[in-house]
Structure 1
Amino acid sequence: MEKMRFAVLMCAEDSEYVKQVYGGYSGVFVKMLAEEGETWDVYKVARGEFPEDDDLVLYDGFVITGSCSDAHGNDKWVRDLLDLLNKLHSMNKKLLGICFGHQILGRALGGKVTRSPTGWDIGVRTVTFSPSWAFSLSSLDLPPGLSIIKCHRDEIRELPEKAEVIAWSEKTGIEMFKCGDHVMGIQGHPEYSKDILLHLIDRLIRGNFITDGDGIQARERAALDPDKEAWKRMCVNFLKGRL
């Protein structure tokens, strides 16, 4: 049986802490998603490092990570990523987008991404699955909603044509979407630990992205435990074509 091959499209720069403790954000994703016998490559697309067009056929799927950049921005690497995602979509490659990755996937397919009118969402929040997606997950024995780590201030405001919302929360209307059987976006961070979230809150305070008061509230909202193992099962089974 031919081994499966995947790529992580890194849209963020690693902090020194995450590099030292987790081997970088790409290492966090590979730890969550990789199974024995698979090959995983990493492309630092935020630095302009992209796979060659001739190599795209070699991959079974791609994971698009979070980022400090705006998915509604027009930096060169963002435009290049949009082009790549359209190519991969036309090839029916499995695409799993997380946070920024979820947003940029939505934009690439024709949706609209903006700042959230209700501001930052940082902490742990429960999302509710649509009945159709909950039915699809029945083979995995998952409940109709799961708690997930959140850290974003942008969101998809309009879905691409032919895409469907498969999860929402009281804060965000499009927590997850899918398009066909090969594209899925998740606004939250199934790969994060609470340790990474608390580190990120401190970075946001130091960078004056949020106030000390916002940080206190975010830490309070981080008290709930995310359903990490359930999210892992969902993401792995989607990416490997078992959903």
Structure 2
Amino acid sequence: MMKLGILLCDDHYPDSIPTYGHYDDAFKRMFHGSVISHYETYRCFEQHYPAQPNECDIWIVTGSKWGVYDNEPWIRSVSEFVQRCHAQSRPLIGVCFGHQLIHHALGGEVTKSDKGWGMGVYPIDNLKNTQQGFTQPDAPNALNLIACHQDQVQEPAPAFSVIAGSDFCPIAITAKGQYVLTMQCHPEFTPDFLVQLVERLRDKAGNDTVDKAIESVRQFGGGDRDFVIRTLHQFVAQHSRVA
């Protein structure tokens, strides 16, 4: 069984924690039933970091309200740790901010998108061009996925393959070989969590954007969230030390 290191880059709003737990709890729930048996959370945004890439078998970089280009010492520290993991072929997963940070750390480009907020359950095309589980026989041609972001990867880091994308978000899911898998979506978010989150963003995103996001949840629920979670379980299983 494997140990997952959670590089926590934010936490939930305090008044949502009694209902949803801390942010790392969402990832622990997401990997329930996989080969992951132990978890270690490092609250990186509070400057709590792992010492070595071999402390855990696999690493995940979480979402965050910050941007990867923000001048924060902890963001630089996480980027340097990602570079060390990558140099040692330690398996890495990136979600939303984590997706962006991995590309940023490894030579890609991330900016605030001029297309505005990506919020709600939105569609992306599954290109089915890698072996990261998105080519399995039941893989949908289009994926409806939970998202909430303004920043986007504009240029992927060298040697990354784009697995899925759309006109709105061309670089939505990526992989590098068998060791790195990143995604702009939030498979750890449930539909009800997303609704309470986007309601908090009305002043920033505007009523029309938030209303459309909530309507997309009513229409699609969690979309293809379960499929992506199964794919993540397969990704961690291929790195298991258990034959």
1:111/1:37 CA distance change after superposition, 3 Å = closer
Q: Which of 178, 182, 195 is residue 181 of structure 1 equivalent to?
A: 178
Corresponding letter in the other structure for 2:9: C
Q: Which runs of 4+ in 1 moved over 4 A?
A: none
The answer to whether the 8 Å contact 1:8/1:42 transfers is: yes
Deviation per CA, 1:144-198, whole angstroms, max 9, x where unpaired? 2221101000000011111111110231110011112111110011111111111
Distance 1:63 1:163 in 2: 17
Q: CA deviation at 1:16?
A: 2.3
Gaps of 5+ in 1: none
Secondary structure of the structure 1 residue equivalent to 2:186: coil
* Residue 219 of structure 1: aligned partner: 214
Indicate whether 1:46 and 2:35 are aligned: no
Indicate whether 1:147 and 2:144 are aligned: yes
1:1-243 → structure 2 map (5 Å cutoff): 3-34=1-32, 35=34, 38-53=37-52, 56-133=53-130, 136-139=133-136, 141-205=138-202, 208-223=203-218, 224-225=220-221, 226-241=223-238
The answer to whether the 8 Å contact 2:132/2:175 transfers is: no
The answer to whether the 8 Å contact 2:130/2:161 transfers is: no
Distance 1:117 1:134 in 2: 32
The answer to whether the 8 Å contact 1:9/1:45 transfers is: yes
Distance 1:105 1:18 in 2: 28
Q: CA deviation at 1:136?
A: 4.6
Identity %: 27
1:37/1:174 CA distance change after superposition, 3 Å = closer
Deviation per CA, 1:96-137, whole angstroms, max 9, x where unpaired? 100000000110110000011111010101221223137953
1:167/1:23 CA distance change after superposition, 3 Å = same
Corresponding letter in the other structure for 2:31: L
Normalising by structure 1, we get a TM-score of 0.91
What is the root-mean-square deviation of aligned Cα atoms in Å? Answer: 1.9
1:140/1:52 CA distance change after superposition, 3 Å = farther
1:50/1:196 CA distance change after superposition, 3 Å = same
Secondary structure of the structure 2 residue equivalent to 1:96: strand
1:91/1:126 CA distance change after superposition, 3 Å = same
Distance 1:156 1:216 in 2: 25
Gaps of 5+ in 2: none
Normalising by structure 2, we get a TM-score of 0.91
